[in-house]
Amino acid sequence: MAKTTDMTKGNPLSLIVRFAVPLFFGNIFQQLYNLADSAIVGQKLGVDSLTAVGASASLFFLIFGFAMGFSAGFGIPVSQRFGAGDLKAMRKYVINSFYLAAVLALVITVVMSTNTESVLRLMKTPDKFIKEATDYLFIIFLGLPFTVLYNQSASIERALGDSRTPFIYLVVSAVINVALDYFFIFCVGMGVEGAAIATVISQGISGILCTVSLFRNFKELKGITADLRPDLKSCRVLAGVGIPMGLQCSVTAIGSILLQIAVNGLEVVYVSSYTIALKLKQLFIPEFDSIGTALATYVGQNYGAGRFDRIKKGMKSSGLIACVFYLITLAANIFGGELLIKIFIKSQDTDPAIIAGAYMYIVIDAVMVFLLALLFIFRYTIQGIGRSITAMLAGIFEMVARLVMSLWVIPVIGWKGACITDPMAWGSAMIYCGICCYVILRREIRKSGKS
């Protein structure tokens, strides 16, 4: 039997650290295999193929961010009912979350797989990258249901206080993905399609294994199959939390697409710099997200139990953990950034301006990433309380900041403007979320009559 964790009791720092550690290593492992994936493409197929895959990154994040967001959101009511000890309602939320996830995955797959090239052209993707980017994304979108299956199962397991099991299956997926990358690209001789097929197969395996584990190993879910009928009330609650969280990620991604379009309008060298910088940014950003994910589960359970004092302590504990991550991130990017960049490319055959541009981008992001850490702490606290629409609006602030930078700053000052766009977006959303978090907690505490 898998072990759940009651976060309404015990030391907040210890609980969040223990919950976040598997998430942290899972994110690190996932990003390392993404690096391996990109390194295989870049070293074997060349910088143009790597750029073609990277040129679709914002669109990828738009769709997969929405899928990950609504899956995470569906876990919030589960964690709240688990914290309140209402297992009957919790089981209803679990089964109906899978129904909603299946419908959303099917709709997204059909829409995106039939319009991939059109969307890439709307993003002003350079013609030399269009074919490979389309080939790659078409296969990836066809495999979206497998990604949703894993994320939904992992979200429920985390809502029950188990972050270890999803980590195990993430490692399994990562190992399989890298092995299949090597096989399809080096042995079979495929192009970017081989990397996409490897990703879909590995995600399918992890999704199936994680789902089987969820329903087989959690005693709290025993008897869930007694009533498999869809429950409209549960679906409305789930959709009310999950859809805004998904849209929040998508709205943020729209801002990233605007930035991608602005960068695509610069010299081709900066398109390659941006692609490489995004790969490295994805190596350290998720570590801050792991703190937020752990905090959302912690807040959800304690909100369900009415323990507002513990919510405040959990936020402070998350801030301490974020400080440690910030210092590590800063040192790694300043002193090891150029070395990491050269993993993706044959440096002797690459324009030095590509390396210099990528290094500038990741160092500026690393210096200012404390803004993102605070944003995650405030936003995930709001989400844990169940105010998903309020949290979603933070994405609007990020999008507007990126819109302003993309339309009026980057065209004037060029690549340096692109490099400061992330911090501008993080800072604007962080201020909004900080104010909202303060106000919401005060209201909820006053409503409950607790201090």
* DSSP secondary structure, 237-295, as one string: HHHHHHHHHHHHHHHHHHHHHHHHHHHHTS-HHHHHHHHHHHHHHHHHHHHHHHHHHHH
The range of the structural domain enclosing residue 317 comes to: 12-448
Q: How far apart, in whole angstroms, are the C-alpha atoms of residue 199 and residue 211? A: 18
The string of pLDDT tens digits covering residues 6-61 is 899 999 999 999 999 888 887 777 666 666 666 777 777 777 777 777 766 778 87
> Where residue 210 falls among pLDDT bands split at 50, 70, 90?
very high
- Mean pLDDT over 352-367 rounds to 94
Name the more confident of 125 and 157. Answer: 157
Q: How far apart, in whole angstroms, are the C-alpha atoms of residue 296 and residue 437? A: 13
* 395 has pLDDT over 80: yes
Residue 14: what pLDDT?
94
The DSSP H or E segment spanning 343 is: none
Name the more confident of 56 and 415. Answer: 415
Asked if residue 217 is part of any domain, the answer here is yes
Asked if residue 5 is part of any domain, the answer here is no
- Mean pLDDT over 373-386 rounds to 96
* 283 has pLDDT over 70: yes
> Where residue 337 falls among pLDDT bands split at 50, 70, 90?
very high
Question: Among 1-5, 276-280, 309-313, 410-414, whose mean pLDDT is lowest?
Answer: 1-5
Buried b (16+ CB within 10 A) or exposed e, 423-445: bbbbbbbbbbbeebbeebbeebb
- Mean pLDDT over 120-135 rounds to 86
Residue 61: what pLDDT?
79
Nearest of 425, 275, 320 to residue 365 by alpha carbon: 425
Which residues 6+ apart lie within 8 Å of 276 measured at CB? 50, 54, 341, 344, 345, 354, 358
Percent of the chain residues topping a pLDDT of 90: 60
Asked if residue 22 is part of any domain, the answer here is yes
pTM of the model: 0.84
Asked if residue 6 is part of any domain, the answer here is no
> Where residue 346 falls among pLDDT bands split at 50, 70, 90?
low
> Where residue 256 falls among pLDDT bands split at 50, 70, 90?
confident
Q: How far apart, in whole angstroms, are the C-alpha atoms of residue 440 and residue 444? A: 6
Residue 3: what pLDDT?
66
Q: What is the 3-state secondary structure (H, E, C) of 126-169?
A: CHHHHHHHHHHHHHHHHCHHHHHHHHHHHHHHHHCCCCHHHHHH
* 1 has pLDDT over 60: no
Asked if residue 3 is part of any domain, the answer here is no
Asked if residue 4 is part of any domain, the answer here is no
Question: Among 34-43, 177-186, 217-226, 393-402, whose mean pLDDT is lowest?
Answer: 34-43
* 297 has pLDDT over 80: yes
Residue 279: what pLDDT?
80
Name the more confident of 23 and 374. Answer: 374
The string of pLDDT tens digits covering residues 158-202 is 999 899 899 899 888 888 988 998 899 888 988 889 888 998 999
> Where residue 412 falls among pLDDT bands split at 50, 70, 90?
very high
Q: Which residue has the tokens 């197969």?
A: 201
Asked if residue 248 is part of any domain, the answer here is yes
Which residues 6+ apart lie within 8 Å of 289 measured at CB? 27, 376
* 451 has pLDDT over 60: no
Give me the number of domains the chain comprises: 1
Asked if residue 1 is part of any domain, the answer here is no
* 384 has pLDDT over 90: yes
Q: Across the chain, what does the average pLDDT equal?
A: 89
Q: How far apart, in whole angstroms, are the C-alpha atoms of residue 419 and residue 425? A: 11
* 3 DSSP assignment: P
